[in-house]
Structure 1
């Protein structure tokens, strides 16, 4: 299966740290300055960070569920996760991603 080049969601394709925490010259912690990710389709938007690549906890870190990519690789036979109901966030735990679907909001169905 061929790979698809996806711009880094965390740094918005700049290769630099989005929040310039250390310095304006710091490289992106998600793509390590490469500006993109090589991913295998099909891809679904990360439900946990809503595709932004940024942790929804407000910590200025990459999303733990998608590692800052903003997307997840999922099988064509994917359905809404019954644990988080497609939100990507663990039920009752604000800020944590859903473990069964790894924050994607979808799960493989046989």
Structure 2
């Protein structure tokens, strides 16, 4: 199962890397994928909190800094961290569900 997920060093979690369309996986395979994804997804709030602490520290450092070049560097780091937090929030809101045939498909909403 882990071969369907690739560790994203920037985000600090494993992301899905499916090698075929979601509907082509069996219900059992989808269930395994979803179970693994939920474990990864559960890590996101803690990762965001970690990054927010770093952003706060760097913001304070920037406010105290007198060197313009260092301020720019700190600001760029903050912007990068904010981008990571934004991407993590997007992934956190991704809630794939099992798909089945049309008669059983009351759960179908979003896909990985």
Tell me the TM-score normalised to structure 2 length.
0.18
Mark the structure with the bigger radius of gyration. 2
RCO higher in 1 or 2 (8 Å CA, sep ≥ 6)? Answer: 2
Structure with more helix by fraction: 2
Q: Which has the higher strand share?
A: 1
